Structure 1
């Protein structure tokens, strides 16, 4: 069960966020409303939400998931692969927020790069995607830290998706949403794989929260498949975040 969530309000500079999508720039006012609705949905799942203020100099800083991995034993501050985001991981308010919940905070060091959007937690085991943002050294350091604390990790090679969780979502109870290259990945054969077609691939980035599943708005087939598994669904519009390669999981740290 998740008890706590950390989010960061987007700043007006969100329109300058990193993107590979060809969908125009996010509209700040709309992004703000969507963020408020996201927080409201999280609150419905029974968690305590810590809200950090906007940071104008980092357009992508609302995507807090990438800068830390929150485990049952420790928090691990990452070293983002996107250079414009690297200093986000050291923002004092984020470190202070994590210290309220964790006695132990670990750090990934150069030349390792890793973004937690590339890490999927399944119990005490962590799947780590080696991507354009997460290199082999970052993954090696992360696994070493996890093992030091009695947890485990393994590397997943990937070539198509931006982040591992761009195409995967673990919904607990052995249920795993899979899209794109992960449909045939050997690492996930033991799961009950719920396949998401490419036209709804963005919808694969859902988050399980205490029996609920937050699903992005506009992906009816994904929603239907999740409801068929017996989960309570909360639909959240993230269209402004999609414009800068962000999804539901990117917008929060959950622990």
Structure 2
């Protein structure tokens, strides 16, 4: 069960965020409204939400998931692979928020790079995707830290997706949404795989919180498959964040 969530309000510079989506620039007022609806959905799941102030110097800073991994034993501050995001991980208000909840805070060090959008938690085990943003050195450091606290991790080779969780979402109870290159990945054979077609692949980025699953708006096939598994579904529009390669999981730290 998750008790706490950390989010950051989108900044007015959000239109300058990194993107490969070719869907135009996000509209700030719409992004703010969508973010408010996202926070509202989070509160319905019973968590306490810590809301950090916008950071105009960092257009992608609303995507807080990438800058820290929050586990049951420790928080691990990452070192983002995207140069424009590297200083986000050390922002004082984020460190202060983590310190409020964690006695043990660890840090990924140069030359390692990790963005936690590449990390999927399954119980006490963590799958770490090797992507353009997360390198092998960063993944090794992450696994060493996890093992120090009695947790475990393994690397997953990737070729196509931006982040591991671009095409995967673990919904607890052994249920795993899979899209694209991960459908055949041997690492995920033991799961009950719910396969998502590429045209709805963005919809595979859902988040499980306390028996609810938050699903992006506009992906009815994904929504139906999740409802058929018996979960309570909350639907949130994240279309403005999609324009800068962001999805539901990117927008929060959940622990």
Please give the TM-score of this superposition, normalised by the length of structure 1. 1.00
| Segments ≥4 residues shifted beyond 3 Å | none
Deviation at residue 13 of structure 1 after TM alignment: 0.1
Inter-partner Cα distance in structure 2 for 1:2 and 1:32? 24
Q: How does 1:56-95 map to 2 (within 5 A)?
A: 56-95=56-95
Deviation at residue 144 of structure 1 after TM alignment: 0.2
Q: Does 1:142 align with 2:157?
A: no
Q: Does 1:113 align with 2:127?
A: no
The equivalent of 1:102 in structure 2 is 102
Name structure 2 gaps, 5 residues minimum: none
The equivalent of 2:160 in structure 1 is 160
Inter-partner Cα distance in structure 2 for 1:105 and 1:229? 36
Inter-partner Cα distance in structure 1 for 2:29 and 2:140? 40
Inter-partner Cα distance in structure 2 for 1:6 and 1:180? 29
Name structure 1 gaps, 5 residues minimum: none
Residues 99-136 of structure 1: per-residue CA shift (max 9 Å, x gap)? 00000000000000000000000000000000000000
The equivalent of 1:20 in structure 2 is 20
SS at match of 2:13: helix
Aligned length, in residue pairs? 255
SS at match of 1:12: coil
The equivalent of 1:129 in structure 2 is 129
Q: Does 1:53 align with 2:53?
A: yes
Inter-partner Cα distance in structure 1 for 2:214 and 2:18? 24
Inter-partner Cα distance in structure 2 for 1:11 and 1:153? 33
Inter-partner Cα distance in structure 1 for 2:198 and 2:152? 31
Inter-partner Cα distance in structure 2 for 1:196 and 1:222? 7
The equivalent of 1:199 in structure 2 is 199
Q: How does 1:163-242 map to 2 (within 5 A)?
A: 163-242=163-242
Residues 69-125 of structure 1: per-residue CA shift (max 9 Å, x gap)? 000000000000000000000000000000000000000000000000000000000
Deviation at residue 51 of structure 1 after TM alignment: 0.1
Q: Does 1:32 align with 2:32?
A: yes
Deviation at residue 217 of structure 1 after TM alignment: 0.2
SS at match of 1:134: coil
Inter-partner Cα distance in structure 2 for 1:86 and 1:246? 17
Inter-partner Cα distance in structure 1 for 2:207 and 2:55? 25
Inter-partner Cα distance in structure 2 for 1:188 and 1:239? 29
Inter-partner Cα distance in structure 2 for 1:96 and 1:11? 19
Please give the TM-score of this superposition, normalised by the length of structure 2. 1.00
Inter-partner Cα distance in structure 1 for 2:217 and 2:156? 28
SS at match of 1:150: coil
Inter-partner Cα distance in structure 1 for 2:160 and 2:221? 22
